[in-house]
């Protein structure tokens, strides 16, 4: 099978819009979690999130696109635009496609529209309501803008949606359906109904007094995750296509693991059965030994059970040759579908720069022998990196990227 390479990246995150802003703030230890500003959350049990800061969509998008899109679609669009510009791709319409990953699609538009409708007239429901809430319309807007006529799929596998978008895009390339695929992940799920449900499930941190320290993956004091929002995009190409057009290659996509726990709709398997199998599957596909992996960007959500299970699975897979492990969710919060892409971007940048991004807010690490790169980045020449994304329903994704040689 032909090699698949990465020729463009885009990011919209709570710590910066644009890949360089995101990366520079990530390795500087910045945190994008604050008290929620997009609506009044003062009566909620959870009042903090990783929101996109100082965001005016008309700075990035045509006004007609802004009017007909949900925020998650806008983040997807902006990330894809950056990735396409970076790739300098001249699109061949029928040989280019898109896979979109999102867990919650337009839930915020649904929630706030229903709130406006309750006790009011039908006029509160606009004619663009349906296309604003559909997950696939994010990809459709990108396709319309760039005349992309190849495969178009939308993946919704909870928090592994972004990783699985990469997986699906790679499969379409390997199947000969396209030469170039845009893998996009995006999320904007901040609304009271979403927060209430997760808070009542005891999944979220309630550290409202200290937003900057609330997301603390792998720390003994962790009490739940913090919701984040944003978007990420990758341009994937066959090696021959990229070389023929003289593209700059940022890295190689080596493997995409995908498994199911087959255990519980919200809790991970207590022995990390699916997570372990997913990492091992990716290593086998990449034809690598576990000791070849220099860095794992962990799912690491800052939940008591999730971090513990993932830590155990990593130890089983990697044995006595443990890689550096960090979670970037201390900085961004849990961006769900978007995180599956932006965390792979973190891996690509770590391989490219020789800098391992830190796990911020880590004061008392889980005692397990893993180097979680606490609070400060580390210099390390690595050739291969893995990104884990695990979601409700027992969905597991492990993506391996490496230096292109």
278 is catalytic: no
Q: Which residue in 31, 241, 299, 347 is the catalytic one?
A: 299
Q: Which residue in 191, 269, 334, 347 is the catalytic one?
A: 334
398 contacts 163 by C-beta, under 8 angstroms: yes
Task: Compute the radius of gyration of the chain from its Cα atoms.
Answer: 20
- Report pLDDT for 122: 64
55 contacts 216 by C-beta, under 8 angstroms: no
How far apart CA 77 and CA 91 sit, in angstroms, is 16
Q: Which residue in 159, 191, 216, 347 is the catalytic one?
A: 159
329 contacts 154 by C-beta, under 8 angstroms: no
334 is catalytic: yes
- Report pLDDT for 121: 63
27 contacts 20 by C-beta, under 8 angstroms: no
Residue 204 β-bridge partners: 225
> pLDDT tens track of the chain, all 405 residues?
899 999 999 999 999 999 999 999 999 999 999 999 999 999 999 999 999 999 999 999 999 999 999 999 999 999 999 999 999 999 999 999 999 999 999 999 999 989 888 877 666 788 889 999 999 999 999 999 999 999 999 999 999 999 999 999 999 999 999 999 999 999 999 999 999 999 999 999 999 999 999 999 999 999 999 999 999 999 999 999 999 999 999 999 999 999 999 999 999 999 999 999 999 999 999 999 999 999 999 999 999 999 999 999 999 999 999 999 999 999 999 999 999 999 999 999 999 999 999 999 999 999 999 999 999 999 999 999 999 999 999 999 999 999 999
State the pairing for strand pair 293-297/324-326: parallel
Domains of the chain, CATH where assigned: 1-391 (3.40.47.10)
Q: Report yes or no on whether pTM surpasses 0.75.
A: yes
């Amino acid at each position: 099978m032909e090699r698949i390479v990465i020729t463009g990246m885009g990011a919209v995150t709570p710590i910066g819009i644009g890949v360089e802003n995101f990366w520079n703030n990530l390795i500087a230890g910045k945190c994008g979690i604050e008290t929620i500003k997009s609506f009044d959350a003062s009566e909620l049990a959870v009042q903090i999130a990783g929101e996109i800061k100082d965001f005016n969509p008309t700075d990035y998008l045509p006004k007609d696109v802004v009017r007909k899109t949900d925020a998650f679609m806008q983040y997807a669009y902006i990330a894809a635009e950056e990735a396409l510009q970076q790739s300098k791709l001249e699109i061949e319409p029928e040989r280019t496609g898109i896979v979109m990953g999102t867990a919650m699609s337009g839930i915020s538009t649904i929630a706030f529209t229903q709130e406006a409708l309750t006790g009011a007239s039908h006029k509160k429901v606009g004619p663009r309501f349906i296309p604003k809430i559909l997950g696939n319309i994010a990809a459709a807007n990108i396709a319309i803008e760039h005349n992309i006529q190849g495969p178009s799929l939308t993946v919704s596998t909870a928090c592994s949606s972004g990783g699985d978008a990469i997986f699906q895009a790679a499969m379409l390339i390997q199947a000969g359906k396209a030469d170039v695929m845009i893998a996009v992940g995006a999320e904007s799920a901040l609304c009271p109904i979403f927060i209430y449900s997760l808070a009542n499930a005891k999944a979220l941190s309630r550290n409202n007094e200290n937003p900057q320290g609330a997301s603390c993956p792998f720390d003994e004091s962790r009490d739940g995750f913090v919701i984040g929002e944003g978007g990420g995009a990758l341009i994937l190409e066959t090696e021959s296509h990229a070389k023929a057009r003289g593209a700059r290659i940022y890295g190689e996509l080596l493997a995409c693991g995908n498994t199911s726990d087959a255990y519980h709709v919200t809790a991970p398997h207590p022995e990390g059965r699916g997570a372990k199998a997913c990492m091992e599957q990716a290593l086998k596909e990449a034809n690598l030994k576990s000791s070849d992996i220099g860095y794992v960007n962990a799912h690491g959500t800052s939940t008591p059970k999730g971090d513990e299970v993932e830590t155990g699975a990593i130890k089983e897979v990697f044995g006595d040759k443990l890689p550096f492990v960090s979670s970037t969710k201390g900085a961004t919060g849990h961006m769900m579908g978007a995180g599956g892409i932006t965390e792979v971007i973190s891996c690509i940048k770590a391989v490219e720069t020789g800098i391992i991004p830190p796990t911020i807010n880590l004061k008392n690490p889980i005692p397990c022998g893993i180097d979680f790169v606490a609070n400060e980045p580390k210099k390390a020449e690595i050739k291969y990196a893995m990104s884990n994304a695990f979601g409700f329903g027992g969905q597991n994704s492990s993506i391996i990227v490496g230096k292109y040689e």
